[in-house]
């Protein structure tokens, strides 16, 4: 399956993460603690924890830091009141946006999320307003590689789809619970991924133009700057031509 530019979803996002590594680590640790608290410390029987571990390792978190976070979750700590909250809304250009949060104060979190939408010309929606446009999947990413080799190994390991992009990058899509097992099988075949994470994949895309693209990127930045926000998913598509003007 052929793909197009990943600029909006990947390049911008990775650049933002690299610039805010301390905040990213804090959010990953919070997810590790919560996943271990809710499902136990054994990643083999806790898909949410395994996904959090994969994300931590993809962001070069040390095993020591990772294991301490899991121990905190299993032992119980002051993060016990954290709950996962999903907010849905519409961003610039009619983009569908999902915001995954971990919070101990719903009122604080919704106020910050609503502010970001309002400041960028969007609006916070109701539950279910855009969720139907997304599917929860595991995404195993290769910056480059032999498409045929990766596709054969991935499908044999139980992957659902393999997408190759114009820049040579390759994404392997899996059921989110199976991401860790598929990644292990790929590594056993000598194919080491550059990243692996659970994501919400949109079924349709909204093309951004030179006017709406900067507003969408600002919305993403404002949301990611919120301490309670773990992930931001959207269906905005920024072409290479539009990206070159930003």
121 and 213 both lie in a single domain:
yes
Where do the H-state alpha helices sit in the chain? Answer: 12-19, 21-39, 47-58, 63-75, 106-119, 147-156, 179-188, 212-224, 240-243
Residue 1 has pLDDT above 50, yes or no: no
pLDDT classification of 2: cutoffs 50, 70, 90: very low
**What pLDDT sits at residue 244?**
82
233 and 119 both lie in a single domain:
yes
48 and 92 both lie in a single domain:
no
**What pLDDT sits at residue 18?**
53
pTM, rounded to two decimals:
0.78
CATH number at residue 158: 3.30.70.980
pLDDT classification of 174: cutoffs 50, 70, 90: very high
Q: Is 99 domain-assigned?
A: yes
211 and 195 both lie in a single domain:
no
DSSP for residue 133: G
Contact criterion met (CB below 8 Å) for 190 and 206:
no
**What pLDDT sits at residue 62?**
87
If you average pLDDT over residues 141-147, what whole number do you get?
Answer: 88
Find the domain containing 187 and state its range.
134-202
Residue 189 has pLDDT above 50, yes or no: yes
3-state helix, strand, coil in the chain (%, to 5): 50, 25, 30
* Length of the chain in terms of residues written: 246
Q: Is 172 domain-assigned?
A: yes
Q: What is the pLDDT of residues 51-90, one digit of tens each?
A: 889 888 888 888 888 988 899 888 866 555 778 899 999 9
Q: Choose one of 35, 54, 75: the last residue of a domain.
A: 75
Q: Is 14 domain-assigned?
A: yes
> Domain total for the chain?
3
Q: Is 2 domain-assigned?
A: no
If you average pLDDT over residues 140-162, what whole number do you get?
Answer: 91
180 and 216 both lie in a single domain:
no
Q: Is 1 domain-assigned?
A: no
128 and 215 both lie in a single domain:
yes
35 and 124 both lie in a single domain:
no
Residue 111 has pLDDT above 90, yes or no: yes
117 and 210 both lie in a single domain:
yes
Of 79 and 240, the structure prediction assigns the larger pLDDT to: 240
Residue 146 has pLDDT above 70, yes or no: yes
147 and 195 both lie in a single domain:
yes
**What pLDDT sits at residue 80?**
59
Could you tell me which residues are beta bridge partners of residue 142?
A: 170
């Amino acid at each position: 399956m052929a793909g197009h530019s990943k600029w909006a979803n990947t390049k911008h996002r990775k650049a933002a993460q690299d610039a805010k590594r301390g905040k990213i680590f804090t959010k990953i640790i919070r997810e590790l603690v919560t996943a271990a608290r809710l499902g136990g410390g054994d990643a083999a029987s806790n898909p949410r924890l395994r996904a959090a571990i994969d994300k931590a390792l993809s962001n070069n978190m040390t095993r020591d830091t990772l294991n301490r976070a899991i121990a905190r979750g299993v032992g119980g700590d002051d993060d016990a009141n954290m709950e996962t909250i999903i907010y849905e809304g519409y961003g610039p250009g009619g983009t569908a946006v999902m915001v995954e949060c971990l919070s101990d104060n719903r009122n604080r979190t919704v106020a910050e999320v609503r502010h970001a939408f309002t400041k960028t010309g969007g609006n916070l929606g109701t539950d279910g307003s855009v969720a139907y446009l997304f599917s929860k999947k595991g995404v195993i990413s290769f910056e480059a590689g032999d498409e045929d080799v990766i596709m054969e190994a991935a499908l044999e390991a139980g992957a659902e789809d393999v997408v190759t992009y114009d820049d040579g990058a390759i994404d392997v899509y899996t059921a989110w619970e199976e991401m860790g097992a598929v990644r292990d099988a790929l590594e056993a075949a000598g194919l080491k991924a550059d990243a692996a994470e659970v994501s919400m994949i949109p079924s349709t895309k909204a093309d951004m133009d030179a006017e709406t693209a900067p507003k969408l990127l600002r919305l993403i930045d404002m949301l990611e700057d919120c301490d309670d926000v773990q992930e931001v998913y959207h269906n905005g598509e920024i072409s290479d031509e539009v990206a070159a003007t930003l």
